[in-house]
Structure 1
Amino acid sequence: MTQESPAPAVAPLRRRKGIVVLATVVAALAAFGSTTQTWLSVLLPQDAVQTPSIQVPGSDAATAVTAFALVGLAAALAASIAGTVARWIITLILMVAGAGIAWSSFAVILDPAPAAAPAIGDALGVSAPQGVSVAITPMPWVAVVAGILLIICALWILGAGRRWSAARRYEKSVRIKPATETNSNADEIDSWDSLSRGDDPTR
């Protein structure tokens, strides 16, 4: 008789490690990707420079966002191989990174002038000239949303990760003999051994 081991239970999608880690990586990449795009469009006085407009990328407008995004990306990848204790630390790192991304991006939205000042200073020689206007693109908002999502993913890892410690192991089914069959085979072997020695096992 062959007894097959029961099929391993399949975890819901919301708790699968691959899904949770992938979502966290996507959130971190979204924050990092936004910094490669234009965050601020600066319009300079036309009589001051030959090029009256400056495009300021997020990496210049909010350098902290780039750093936090890279930290979040590294932590997200580490979460896939971390143990229980390390996962708690990684979760904390992800929450700090997400909060840093959201706050730094929102600070640029609230007051874009300081973020644009270095680019303006390079173009005009002064950081706060008259007649300069600064327009905000949607990219800082993308970073804010990505930072919030990173915090949510950190909480998601904290909740779903409690079931990750016991990894599923797929084992081959084994043939298990009943105890009666095993004993019967043992008795037959003993009988043959007795006959070979000249003894009568029926006595």
Structure 2
Amino acid sequence: MSATSSVPAWKRKSTLVMLAILAALAVFGTTTQTWLHVSIAQGAVQQSDLNIPGSKAAVAVSALALVALAGALAVTIAGRVARIITGVIVLLAAAGIIVVVLGVLADPSAAAMAEVGKATGVVGVASNAATTWFPVAAVIAAAVLALAAVLILWAGRGWTVRSKYDAAAAPGAQPAPGAPIDEVDSWDRLSRGDDPTA
């Protein structure tokens, strides 16, 4: 049985990174949809034709989703220390998304105020804003993203080193006898004072 097959799927690097990427994309995808339906009070007339997407109702969510996506992608090539840093960044981005979206859900009228002001030309116009299900979906996706980040931080401690540069940095690591030497290996040996032509 191979080492990879003995590791549970939920601990594998490929599984957790893919989960984080999909969750970040899901959050970003919700921001392209309508988050708020607004009825604007103008005298005795009610207008219900203003729909506000998540990218305008909560600008920070789109930015944080992109940060989380970049962090999840960076995990695929990060070493041990960089993996911890990027994992923490992804976790903080997920937490930030949840906080911002909960603010929109708690007070949709305040979240809609800027767009209502642009639509009416008057700042502070009273509006009756209602949320759609997309902010809730964003919170769920962000919670999955946070879970993936926590699992990356926890399970990532046991992930094997994939890079030959990381392997070379390991104590006592030496190239196998008779292994082919490329230009990079030659430069590494020269920097250690060895003659690669010997």
Which residue in 2 is equivalent to 1:13?
Answer: 9
Deviation at 1:48, TM superposition (A): 8.1
Confirm or deny: 8 A CA contact 1:20 1:153 kept in the other structure: yes
Confirm or deny: 8 A CA contact 2:61 2:97 kept in the other structure: yes
Deviations 1:34-53 (A, max 9, x none): 10000000112477889642
- Structure-2-length-normalised TM-score: 0.75
1:73 aligns with 2:84: no
Written as runs of structure 1 = structure 2, the 5 A alignment for 1:61-100 is: 61-100=57-96
Written as runs of structure 1 = structure 2, the 5 A alignment for 1:1-203 is: 8-9=2-3, 10=5, 11-45=7-41, 52-130=48-126, 132-167=127-162
Deviations 1:18-75 (A, max 9, x none): 1110000011011100100000001124778896420000000000000000000000
Which residue in 2 is equivalent to 1:186?
Answer: none
More strand by share: 2
Which residue in 1 is equivalent to 2:189?
Answer: none
Instruction: Give me the identity figure in percent.
Output: 45
Q: Which has the higher contact order (CA 8 A, sep 6+)?
A: 1
Confirm or deny: 8 A CA contact 1:30 1:143 kept in the other structure: yes
- Structure-1-length-normalised TM-score: 0.73
Deviation at 1:145, TM superposition (A): 1.4
Take 2:64 and 2:125, find their aligned partners in 1: how far apart are those partners? Answer: 31
Confirm or deny: 8 A CA contact 2:71 2:89 kept in the other structure: yes
| Counterpart code for 1:166 | V
Deviation at 1:163, TM superposition (A): 2.1
Deviations 1:79-119 (A, max 9, x none): 11111000110111011100110000000001111211111
Confirm or deny: 8 A CA contact 2:39 2:46 kept in the other structure: no
Which residue in 2 is equivalent to 1:196?
Answer: none
Take 2:113 and 2:154, find their aligned partners in 1: how far apart are those partners? Answer: 43
Bigger radius of gyration, 1 or 2?
1
Take 1:56 and 1:45, find their aligned partners in 2: how far apart are those partners? Answer: 16
Take 1:84 and 1:142, find their aligned partners in 2: how far apart are those partners? Answer: 32
Gapped regions of structure 1 (runs ≥ 5): 1-6, 169-203
Take 2:108 and 2:46, find their aligned partners in 1: how far apart are those partners? Answer: 23
Q: How many residues align?
A: 162
| Counterpart code for 1:143 | A
